[in-house]
Amino acid sequence: MYKRILLKLSGEALKGETSSGIDPQTVKEIAMQIKDVHDLGVEIGIVVGGGNIWRGKTAEGLGMDRAQADYMGMLATIMNGLAVQDALENIGVPTRAMTALPINQVAEPYIRRRALRHLEKGRVCIFVGGLGSPYFSTDTACILRAAEIDAEVVLMAKNKTEGVYDSDPRTNPNAVMYDELTFSEILAKNLAVMDSTAASLCKDNKLPLIVFNMNTKGNIIKAVKGEKIGTLVKVE
């Protein structure tokens, strides 16, 4: 159904059943799912979160400066991106890690034209380092990259969450999941699926979004094929 996608991977999903960090078996399973999509001829961009390594709440508890904490978060996304890159290349999927935060020894700098060329050549582009500036979330980085590479849809893979709910399903057993939403509704209802900057970017650039559970095997390829999973956030 889609020729080019942007996949947002939750950093939390990479830790598997461990308390934090990167679980190699989980990363390998995610890589296999991405390979299935790549084998269909779909061009894939990936943005990885860093919540399994570093979270803003930790920084807040330490009384850390916000900018300093955000730079640490960017480094966490680079570590996760390199883990995903290695897992993909081990199963024969060509990749390029591209970073907004200059660290030339481990990843090439993000340049839009170069990213587009990689995608056209069938390479999976893993965008790491956020936007290279503090005060922006990986959600915002994800939507901006999606707009820049002309992705047709953003697939937001969540950790153990089936879609978008009216309240937190982990604390409220009566939370109701939406099948479909608009970005205006996300902003008006202050739903926690993404921050308001990212939601506004999606709305302004007319980017549809599918939110689904990363932990269910086969969900990525189902989303790409247009099968009904999770929550569809529609373009208005």
CB atoms within 10 A of CB 203: 19
Q: Looking at residue 1, what is its pLDDT?
A: 84
Alpha helices in 91-214 (DSSP H): 112-120, 138-148, 183-189, 196-205
- Judged by average pLDDT, the poorest of 50-64, 74-88, 163-177, 214-228 is 50-64
Report the C-alpha gap between 222 and 220 in whole angstroms: 5
Per DSSP, what are the bridge partners of residue 4? Answer: 43
Average pLDDT over residues 216-236: 91
Burial letters for 76-94: b for 16+ Cβ neighbours within 10 Å, e otherwise? Answer: bbbbbbbbbbebbeeeebe
Per the CB < 8 A criterion, the answer to whether 19 and 2 are in contact is no
Per-residue pLDDT tens digits for 142-155? 999 999 999 999 99
Structure tokens at 15: 């830790």
Per the CB < 8 A criterion, the answer to whether 149 and 205 are in contact is no
Burial letters for 33-46: b for 16+ Cβ neighbours within 10 Å, e otherwise? Answer: bbbebbeeebbbbb
Kindly indicate the confidence band of residue 25, based on its pLDDT and cuts at 50, 70 and 90.
very high
CB atoms within 10 A of CB 185: 16
Sheet containing 95-99, strands listed edge to edge, beginning at the edge strand earlier in sequence: 108-109, 95-99, 124-128, 43-48, 4-9, 153-158, 209-213, 231-234, 180-182
Per-residue pLDDT tens digits for 97-117? 999 999 989 999 999 999 999
Report the C-alpha gap between 184 and 236 in whole angstroms: 8
State the angle between helix axes of 138-148 and 196-205 in degrees (0 to 180), rounded to the nearest 10: 10
Task: Write phi, then psi, for 146 (nearest 5 degrees).
Answer: -60, -45
Structure tokens at 100: 């907004």
What DSSP state is assigned to residue 14?
G
Per the CB < 8 A criterion, the answer to whether 209 and 202 are in contact is yes
Please report, rounded to a whole number, the percentage of residues in the chain having pLDDT higher than 90: 71
Per-residue pLDDT tens digits for 36-74? 999 999 999 999 999 899 877 778 778 889 899 999 999
Average pLDDT over residues 152-178: 90
Q: Looking at residue 159, what is its pLDDT?
A: 83
Per the CB < 8 A criterion, the answer to whether 41 and 224 are in contact is no
Per-residue pLDDT tens digits for 9-23? 989 889 888 878 999
What DSSP state is assigned to residue 199?
H
